[in-house]
Chain A
Amino acid sequence: MSASAAVSREPRGSAVNGRRALARRPLLFACLIAVLIAAIALSLSLGSVDIPLSDIVRALTGGEASRDAWTNIVLRFRLPKVLTAALAGAALSVGGLLMQTLFRNPLADPFVLGISSGASLGVALVILAIGAPGVALLAGFGLAGDLGIAAAASIGAGLVMLLVLLIASRIRDRVALLIVGLMLGYAVGALVSLLLFFSIPERIQAFINWGFGSFGGVTWGQMPIFAPIVIGGLLLCATLAKPLNALLLGESYAASLGVRLGRVRLAIIVGVGLMAGAVTAFCGPIGFLGIAAPHLARSLFGTSDHRITIPAALIVGALLAIAADLIAQAPGSRTVLPLNAVTALFGAPVVILAILRWRGLRASFE
């Protein structure tokens, strides 16, 4: 495509909804934030255990609920979980948005460079292969239990990310990078299959359960590791809005605007890699959100401008994650559903509807 054609597209993309849409944006943001706050409140008050609202408020305001267990459930189960869901949802959504822009591919997600496969391999090594001696080794470094799993996942994700960075700094073509990332994912996934093949059913089941994803595994003890990485990644991504907008118009055009492509690309990979790695390590491989939330954000605001879509994707991602977790908890019942099934099952129709109503999708990727 020629640069001039691309330039003419950006105004057209914005013009779809006209000036009134522009004027509505602050209102829309306010509404989304209100809904997000409502969702957080709902998530804190609804759960498998029935706790009266007054007890929840008392627990949250530093008092004691009428039962000790209830105080604990609100403060040490629901609060870290809703925070984890919000952070993870925001991270995956923004990460997906950046990957979709970087690769100009509506199907890209934060894991497209094989980062979650790296995390899976780390977890598979802990759960399936090394077994007790491996965990004992991790425990020796003070990394036992779930943190051991998280540590292994982080190491796996980090190694794959380093490899991708190394390759990204050598090849300039983003399509080639995309294919390299996919291939890395396949290769690492094959190693996981091998481990699965030679493991015993109980451990395979444990690995499968990890794969269902969960926001409930991050305790306050782990939050000081999880939250800073995710927030740091989000901040890094937020600084990239302008070069990302230029990228939307094509790499050559962006370069002519003075965007240093190589550096921006590395920054995107580092930011998204950190977030995707941390989320996968602590919550398991959460699928779907990373593809769907950016589309939802773009269609809600009717624009591809990253100054709008990054904060929008952040809020929409957090909201979707909290909503998915609420549904997975199946309020009113004491059993739970696997998170990954819920995100896709309930999220897919929402996204399809949004896409059908917004015609700007093609403009963002052509």
Chain B
Amino acid sequence: MKFRSLLAALIVSIALTPFALFSVSADNLTESCVESFDATVDYFPEKVEPRFSEGWRVSYHNNYKVVDVLTPFPGAADIDAFQYVLVQCGTPAPEGFDDALMIEVPSGALIALSTTYVPHLDDLGLLDNLIGMDSGLYVSNSEVVARFAAGDLLEVGSGPSVNVEAILDAEPALVLAFGSGSPDYDTHPTLIEAGVPVVVASDYVEGSPLGQAEWAKFIALFYNREALANEVFEAKAASYADLTALTAALSDAERPAVLWNGYLSYADAWFIPGSDSFAAQYVRDAGGMLVLGDAPETQDTAAGVPFAFETVYEAGLDADIWMPGTFGVTTLMDFVAQDERYADFAAVTNGQVYNFDARENANGGNDYFESGVANPQLVLADLIAILHPDLLPEHELVYFRNLPKE
């Protein structure tokens, strides 16, 4: 009985769905254009607002949104900012934005020049719009990988030597690129010159993991998917806050020491994350303490600080956990083969070495830098499970991997 009534309710609700779309006028138009323009109507009843991101902002008007990218590269000045005017299609473009790029929304075919946009596109149901990327080698998203394998996606490269002809030929409605502040690496100047609608989306400049993940909302702006972006991101932010609450009350004595040195270390120089870096924020939120994290050299910087190996050796010998951020290493044996002095560390002896390569593909593309960027709550959960296994006993590691002895 119960099952039948449930089924009936389901059928009725499915049948009513199209009517619901038309009858509720409080939605953004995610698939269509305005047919008869009314200047008094707010065409964007669903809005986003950055809570953690500091690199972009948006102001809504009845039929257009003005989007500012404030930090196209680290250390950008006001004059470096970009402005984009997103106009609801089927409505007139506003006057007075001569310097800004006008883009009709909901936008269409998209070329993404960074893998960090891919998880957002997936979350927002926008992957169908993707027609190309800079390279197919380093992407981890399974759907995108499959489409590259099938030859359905363009590879256009990046930087000043980006394949402009291929991009012009593909006629994308939108290209998402990131800025570096250096003409040697920037792609957007070349594309702007060619008249391609390129938007500089430098999510990597953000100061916090949640700030970077919140660029989902930024991408949603171009497809009027604000409602979905809010829903997806706020769920992640809430989950991140819940996880942080698990460790907030831990005393210093209960916080394990974590030796974390990035990809950047080589022989003499060991780069320890600065106190404002993502690594430091993650370890703090996961209830740990970074080795050399209280050193004066690491304060108030997001950059890695190059310590002498012997300094790190002395400070990190007894660290409980080691995150070496290395690549090309499968086992602890491989790891120690890099430098026999690694074997002296307690974390190696105790098998407490973790690397963030659990989801690395054959070409070295690492999902930690792709879906991990969009899912800080998963990265944090991994770290809590490593630092305090008792707090998240059920959690299975997503991005990190314990290096096995052999």
Q: Which residues of A contact B264 (CB under 8 A)?
A: 205-206, 209
Q: Residues 305-347 of chain B: 1 if any A CB is under 8 Å from the residue's CB, otherwise 0?
A: 1111111011001000000000111100111011111001000
Partner of B269 from A77, A145, A219, A336 at Cβ < 8 Å? A336
Partner of A48 from B137, B307, B337 at Cβ < 8 Å? B307
Question: In which size bucket is the chain B interface?
Answer: 35 or more
Q: Which residues of B contact A145 (CB under 8 A)?
A: 328-329, 334-335, 337-339
User: Given the complex of chains A and B, what is the CA–CA distance between A156 and B333 in angstroms?
Assistant: 26
Known A135-B328, A206-B264, A214-B268; further 11 A-B contacts with Cβ < 8 A: A48-B308, A48-B311, A133-B362, A145-B338, A198-B137, A202-B366, A214-B266, A216-B268, A217-B339, A336-B308, A339-B268
Q: List 22 A-B contacts (CB under 8 A).
A: A48-B310, A49-B311, A49-B314, A69-B314, A131-B363, A132-B362, A135-B328, A139-B334, A145-B334, A145-B339, A199-B364, A200-B365, A206-B264, A209-B266, A212-B269, A214-B268, A215-B267, A217-B266, A217-B267, A217-B339, A335-B297, A336-B306
Nearest-CB distance from B384 to chain A (Å)? 24
- Contacts A139-B330, A145-B335, A221-B340 given; indicate if A334 touches B311 (C-beta within 8 A): yes
A 179-213 contacts with B by CB, 8 A: 197-200, 202-203, 205-206, 209-210, 212
Q: Which residues of A contact B334 (CB under 8 A)?
A: 135, 139, 144-145
Nearest-CB distance from B20 to chain A (Å)? 45
Q: Is A146 positioned at the interface, with any CB of B under 8 Å from its CB?
A: yes
B 253-301 contacts with A by CB, 8 A: 263-269, 295, 297
Q: Which residues of B contact A335 (CB under 8 A)?
A: 297, 305-308
Q: Is B135 positioned at the interface, with any CB of A under 8 Å from its CB?
A: yes
The reply to whether B328 and A131 contact each other, CB–CB distance below 8 Å, is yes
Q: Is A328 positioned at the interface, with any CB of B under 8 Å from its CB?
A: yes
Partner of A132 from B265, B328, B333 at Cβ < 8 Å? B328
- Contacts A132-B327, A217-B267 given; indicate if A329 touches B308 (C-beta within 8 A): yes
Q: Which residues of B contact A49 (CB under 8 A)?
A: 308, 310-311, 313-314
Q: Is B60 positioned at the interface, with any CB of A under 8 Å from its CB?
A: no
Q: Is A78 positioned at the interface, with any CB of B under 8 Å from its CB?
A: yes
Closest residue of chain A to B337 (Cβ to Cβ) is A144
Q: Which residues of A contact B307 (CB under 8 A)?
A: 48, 334-336
The reply to whether A206 and B309 contact each other, CB–CB distance below 8 Å, is no
Measuring CB to CB, which residues of chain B are less than 8 angstroms from any residue of chain A?
135, 137-138, 159, 161, 263-269, 295, 297, 305-311, 313-314, 317, 327-330, 333-335, 337-341, 344, 357, 360, 362-366, 369
Closest residue of chain B to A128 (Cβ to Cβ) is B364
Q: Which residues of A contact B313 (CB under 8 A)?
A: 49, 69, 72-73, 77
Q: Is A47 positioned at the interface, with any CB of B under 8 Å from its CB?
A: yes
Q: Which residues of B contact A206 (CB under 8 A)?
A: 263-264, 266, 327
User: Given the complex of chains A and B, what is the CA–CA distance between A334 and B312 in angstroms?
Assistant: 9
Q: Which residues of A contact B363 (CB under 8 A)?
A: 131
A to B contact number (C-beta, < 8 Å): 136
- Contacts A145-B329, A198-B135 given; indicate if A210 touches B310 (C-beta within 8 A): no
User: Given the complex of chains A and B, what is the CA–CA distance between A26 and B311 in angstroms?
Assistant: 41
The reply to whether B340 and A47 contact each other, CB–CB distance below 8 Å, is no
Which of B269, B307, B308, B339 has the largest count of A CB atoms less than 10 A from its CB? B308
User: Given the complex of chains A and B, what is the CA–CA distance between A69 and B161 in angstroms?
Assistant: 50
Partner of B266 from A77, A199, A212, A219 at Cβ < 8 Å? A212
Nearest-CB distance from B371 to chain A (Å)? 15
Closest residue of chain B to A204 (Cβ to Cβ) is B263
The reply to whether A219 and B340 contact each other, CB–CB distance below 8 Å, is yes
Q: Which residues of A contact B339 (CB under 8 A)?
A: 145-146, 217, 219
Q: Is A136 positioned at the interface, with any CB of B under 8 Å from its CB?
A: yes
Closest residue of chain B to A203 (Cβ to Cβ) is B364
A 146-185 contacts with B by CB, 8 A: 146-148
A 319-366 contacts with B by CB, 8 A: 328-329, 334-339
